[in-house]
Every structure is written in structure tokens, then in C-alpha cells.
Amino acid sequence: MELLGYFSAIVIGLVMGLIGGGGSILSVPIFVYVFGFDPVTATTLSLFVVGVTSLVGSAGFVKDKLIDFRTAFIFGIPSVLGVLFSRRLVLPHLPEYIINRWGITMTKDMFLLFLFAILMLIASSKMIRKNERPSGRKQNGNNYTILISQGLLVGIITGLIGAGGGFLIVPALVMLIGLPMKRAVATSLFIIAMNSILGFLSTMKMVAHDWTFLIIFSSLSVVGIFIGIAVAKNIDGRKLKPAFGWLVLVMGLFIIIKEIFFKQQLPI
């Protein structure tokens, strides 16, 4: 079972290299259901793996001058503030039982997994619908205002459930300010790297983690992202998004069904 988990590390990097995000959508369920970590630990480990993988992946894009640093910081600074807000103020103060009345019991761990599953369903719908509009829209102040607010939203999501938010970042960069797809993917990886690494550092002392495991898993993920970037030069990542969207949809439904029907902590 663990062998499957380590193989999935390569898949995580592969997906990130192809579509500029999606790594945490896979990593959190793998850490929880394959390696047996609790959700809070899983989200923290996910931030490390996704952050390191994105950072290494974006280094190649720096060389190719594909990263729009101005946009990255306009989006990234409020996003980082959102991450710190979630990791330092929200997550540590969530009660152990979110709901414990009327015959309904929802623990903190269940709540985080349900929240993550809902995010997966939203992400899958965006990927399957292929609703990205062509690039080349005129940049204006209103678009950048929306970009800043979306950056804050992505940061809050990243901090709370360990998701890098690439499925939100890439469409935002394409639709709001007209970045070409390849530049949007490159810029997205840089933003995800900032968010995830800072998110991990802000709460790394709150959970126990095995550095050997993290380094091995992250190294495999880095191998995957290099494969993904190489493949992306010949295949448009947008063509692969629907297939990945269906996988994410199935995984999101799996989490919901497993938490409700197999743990039997919520009434049917």
C-alpha cells in the first residue's frame, strides 16, 4: 500500500507540471488514506511537498522567463496573508467537535476532510467544463482588484486545508489579466510555492513529521514535475484537465462516502 503512495508522489508532480496545480488535491487524500496521517498533519505535510515541488518546478520557468513576477506578487502577497490567517488564527482554534448535538457528530478531522472534498468537487467541475476563455484580455484596475481578492481567498483555502489552489489561480490569471496558458501555469507554480512553503513554516511545530519521509516523498514529486513540464511542451495541459477533473470528482465522492457511511459518525 505504501508503495502505491510513493508512486503517487510522482503522479502529484506530473499533474502539477502539466496543469500548474492539482498536487494537493491528490496529496492530502493519499496522506490520510494510504499513509494514515490525521487530516491536520496531512494538510501540513501537503504544504511542504507541494511547496518544494512547485519551487523546483518554477525554477525552470524562471530560466525561460515565463513567470510574470509582477502578477505573482499582486496575487501572492494577499494570498500569503490568507495563509497566515488560516494557519495561525483559524486552524489552531477549531474545536475538537464542530457539531455534537441533535444526534449529529462531526469532529474537527471530519470537518476538514469534508471541506477538502467539497473543494475537490468544485475543482473537478471547473476542470471538466473547460470554461477558460481565450487569453489577451485588456488589463485594467478592476481585474487586478478581483485578482487581489481571489488571492486572499486562495490563501485562506491553502492555509486551512493544505490545497495550493492552482485550479483557481490558473483560470484567474488567464481570464482576468489575459496571461497565455504557459505563463499562467508558470506563474501559478511560483505563487503556490510561496503560499505552501510559508504555510508549512508557520505551523510546522504544531504537528509531528518525519523528515526522511518528507524528503523521499518530495523528491519523487520533483521527479514527476520535471516529467510533467517536459510533456507539457508537446501537449496542451488544457486537453488533459477534463480527464484529471473526473479523477478528482471520483476522489471527492470517495472521501464523502467513506466519512459518512464507513466511519458512521453522521446519521444516514
CA–CA distance, 11 with 244 (Å, rounded to integer): 11
50: which residues sit within 8 A by CB, 6+ positions away?
12, 16, 23, 24, 27, 162, 164, 192, 196
pLDDT value of residue 266? 40
pLDDT value of residue 219? 92
Write down the mean pLDDT value for the chain: 78
Q: What is the pLDDT of residues 159-196, one digit of tens each?
A: 777 666 666 787 778 777 778 877 887 888 888 888 88
CA–CA distance, 49 with 221 (Å, rounded to integer): 7
Q: Which amino acid is at 236?
A: D
| Alpha-carbon distances of 227 from 15, 106, 149, 251, rounded to whole Å | 9, 40, 33, 23
Strand stretches in the chain, DSSP E = 97-101, 104-107
pLDDT value of residue 268? 35
Chunked into runs of 10 residues, the chain (268 residues) has average pLDDT values of: 82 77 75 84 84 83 85 88 84 76 75 80 74 49 75 82 70 77 82 84 75 90 86 69 76 78 48
User: What's the whole-model pTM score?
Assistant: 0.74
pLDDT value of residue 216? 92
Q: What is the pLDDT of residues 121-135, one digit of tens each?
A: 877 777 677 554 444
111: which residues sit within 8 A by CB, 6+ positions away?
94, 98
Confirm if 137 and 177 have CB atoms less than 8 A apart: yes
pLDDT value of residue 20? 62
DSSP symbols for 222-241: HHHHHHHHHHHTTS-HHHHH
What number of residues does the chain have? 268
Cell numbers standing for residue 52: 518544494
CA–CA distance, 157 with 73 (Å, rounded to integer): 18
Domain boundaries, given as residue ranges, for the chain = 2-262
